[in-house]
Amino acid sequence: MQRPKGTKDLFGEELASIRHVERTMGEVFKRYGYEEVETPIFEQLELFEKKSGESVVKQLYAFKDKSGRELALRPELTAPVVRLYINQLRSAPKPVKLCYFGNCFRYEEPQAQRWRQFLQSGTEIIGSARPEADAEVIALSDEIIRDLGLSNYELRIGHIRLLREVLAHAGLKGDAQDPIMRAIDSREEARLRAELDRAGLKAGDEKVLRSLITLRGGMKVLKQAEKLVADLPNAKTALKNLHEILDYVCSFGVEKFTVDLGIARGLEYYTDLVFELYVDGVQVAGGGRYDELVELLGGYPCPAVGVGFGIDRIGRALLKRGMIVLREQLDCVVLPAGEEVLSECLKIVGELRRAGLLVDVDLMGRKLSKAIAVGVKDLKEGKVTLRDMRTGKQELVARKELAGKLKAVP
């Protein structure tokens, strides 16, 4: 029997690395005041159709249960957490700050760093429309990567409303913008060219859009963008919002980031701020503001911002860089000399474990006739202690004579 296509077995260093990532994230989430929640692995299919459209079904593990209800394994965790908020937490004091961990599932062709089952974590701030909330989510993401010791990562920050306002000025509104936004997100020129031709953008509007999505760099990028949208009041408002967010990001102590106005994000529910984190060229996190999603999923209008992390990808990045998470060292190993002392040995093991010590014991009933004790003082004299496990007799033996002694003693 083989494991299903697009899945993997986790063990050894890879699993240890993943657990290390989860523990680090959990500590940061706690420091920032987030409450952990857990949602079902499967949800009503409608939840994901509302968020991403009916076309998303072909990318899901969707099925009918025995009562004919249409369900799906969750492909991500933001929509389920928002559903939880609407069902049970909408009366809670604002903002509601939630964090989570869990497996997600997507039916897509497996490729490098993409699996049909994968681990995701994230946070959501629901109820605050203020720029400092956006900045906190970015600062939290940056702190997690730094706490894991991953240097030379790239944090890219953009603002999707800026691009949407340019398209709206060109006469494209609502869903008509989405094919172009997805093309921008793909970074594929041929695809973008085809979508722009299909939409029939005027030369002037296309020039502004193309100029914006190529702007990358420090804060000076905002000045360049201001000149491009000088005649678009709503776009200027979006730029002002991004400037405020970045100021607060700096206040939180984030020292290194890139303003990237070409970030479009593949999910249509983002409304304003968007950002992405890359390690060794692989995207390991992404998020932004989604002020319309709560209402879309059946709640009252409510602002929200969040981030999702690819735990598997971050764990693999640690391994790739040789940042191996070592197994916690045992305090001792208890070796029964024979069946007659086994019961007492197990009592000792139990006592030590209850005292909080990491203790292992031989569970194979091995017959140990001899044991070697190595001490610092003895080593300085070139000797070790050889103990007969049957009689309890022990003697100091010169290291060069040890092999001969062991062969001679029956």
Instruction: Give 56-81 pLDDT, tens digit per residue.
Output: 778 899 999 999 999 999 999 999 99
Q: What pLDDT was estimated at residue 165?
A: 93
Task: Please measure the distance between the N-terminal and C-terminal CA atoms of the chain and give it in whole angstroms.
Answer: 46
Span 205-234, average pLDDT: 92
Across 377-392, average pLDDT: 80
Provide the pLDDT confidence category of residue 341 given band limits of 50, 70 and 90.
Answer: confident
Where is average pLDDT lowest: 20-24, 171-175, 208-212, 306-310?
171-175
pLDDT over 60 at 86, yes or no: yes
pLDDT band at 93 (very low <50, low <70, confident <90, very high): very high
Indicate if the pLDDT at residue 53 is higher than 70: no
Q: What are the phi and psi torsion angles at 283 (to 5°)?
A: -75, 125
Give the torsion sign (CA, 16, 18, 24, 27): negative
Give the pLDDT band of residue 409 (cuts 50, 70, 90).
low
Q: Could you read off the pLDDT of 267-298 as tens digits, one per residue?
A: 567 899 999 999 999 999 999 999 999 999 99
Span 306-314, mean pLDDT? 96
* pLDDT at residue 202 in the model: 86
Burial of 172 (0-12, 13-18, 19+ CB in 10 A): buried
Using CA atoms, how far apart are residues 344 and 339, in angstroms rounded to an integer? 10
- Average pLDDT along the chain: 90
CA angle, 44 as apex, 39 and 45 as ends, to 5°? 120
Q: Quote the percentage of the chain above a pLDDT of 90.
A: 62
- The enclosing H or E element of 122 equals strand 117-126
pLDDT at 348: 85
The predicted pLDDT at position 385 comes to 83
Task: Indicate the DSSP class of residue 44.
Answer: E
- pLDDT at position 395 is 87
One-letter amino acid identity for 318? L
pLDDT (0 to 100) of residue 119: 96
Arithmetic mean of pLDDT, 38-43 = 97
| H and E: helices and strands count for the chain | 15, 17
Of 359 and 316, the one with more pLDDT: 316
Using N-to-C axis directions, what is the helix angle for 189-199 and 178-186, rounded to 10°? 160
Tokens in use for 223? 């000045």
Residue given tokens 């000792």 in the structure block: 348
99-153 tens-digit pLDDT: 999 999 999 876 777 889 999 999 999 999 999 999 999 999 999 999 999 988 9
Spell out the alpha helix ranges (H) of 5-115: 12-31, 45-52, 78-84
Task: Report the predicted TM-score, pTM, of the whole model to 2 decimal places.
Answer: 0.86
Banded pLDDT at 98 (limits 50, 70, 90): very high
Flag whether pLDDT at 371 surpasses 90: no
Omega cis (within 30) before 233: no
Q: Report which of residues 53 and 397 the model is more confident about.
A: 397
Domains in the chain and their CATH numbers? 12-320 (3.30.930.10), 337-408 (3.40.50)
Length of the chain: 410
Q: Between the CA atoms of 251, 252, 255 and 261, what dihedral angle is there, to the nearest 10 degrees?
A: -80
Predicted confidence (pLDDT) at residue 319 exceeds the cutoff of 60: yes
pLDDT confidence tier of residue 55, bands split at 50, 70 and 90: low
pLDDT, one tens digit per residue, over 225-267 is: 999 999 999 999 999 999 999 999 999 999 999 999 999 875 5
Asked if 148 and 21 touch (Cβ cutoff 8 Å), the reply is yes
**Position with higher pLDDT, 337 vs 36:** 36
User: Given this model, what pLDDT does residue 95 score?
Assistant: 97
| 47-53: long-range contacts, CB 8 A cutoff, minimum separation 24 | 47/72, 47/79, 47/80, 47/83, 47/297, 48/72, 48/74, 48/75, 48/79, 50/296, 50/297, 51/79, 51/267, 51/269, 51/293, 51/296, 51/297, 52/267, 52/268, 52/269, 53/268
- The pLDDT value given to residue 357: 84
